[in-house]
Amino acid sequence: MGELVKQLSEQTSRLAHLGVELAKAELVIEGKRIETGLGMFGGAGAIGFYALGALVAAAVLGLATAVTAWLSALIIAVVLGVIAGLLALQGKSKMQVATPVSDQIRKNVTEDVKWATSRVQAGRQQAERQ
């Protein structure tokens, strides 16, 4: 019986260690998703900055000349604004996908520890009875 309790203790320790390793691997994946989302937000900000510059150029050209130059600058500004909006939406979706992983990791590790603890306690109680 003592050997079984020893094996249970070793396997519980191994299970906890593997749970921590799994959590580390999942956090790396989550970090990469967050990094991608942040990169897309950065890209959206940069393109949005250019869109603002193009809008300013469109206003200046609109006041200074005829419709042709103003209209072309406005079209460029609108296209850049649409691209920035799409990048921002993609970045937001990447961030939302990454967030629930840490909650799932925490839940899995907590369940594993509770299960292992209950098994060790049951083994100890059974060993004490004999």
- The tally of domains found in the chain comes to 1
Q: What CA–CA distance (Å, rounded) separates 35 from 101?
A: 15
**Residue ranges making up the domain that contains 18:** 2-129
Residue 51 near residue 81 (C-beta atoms within 8 A): yes
The predicted structure's pLDDT at residue 16: 78
Query: Which residues of the chain register pLDDT less than 50?
Result: none
Q: Give the CA distances from residue 12 to residues 70, 109, 128, in Å, rounded to whole numbers and listed in that order.
A: 71, 12, 19
Burial of 92 (0-12, 13-18, 19+ CB in 10 A): middle
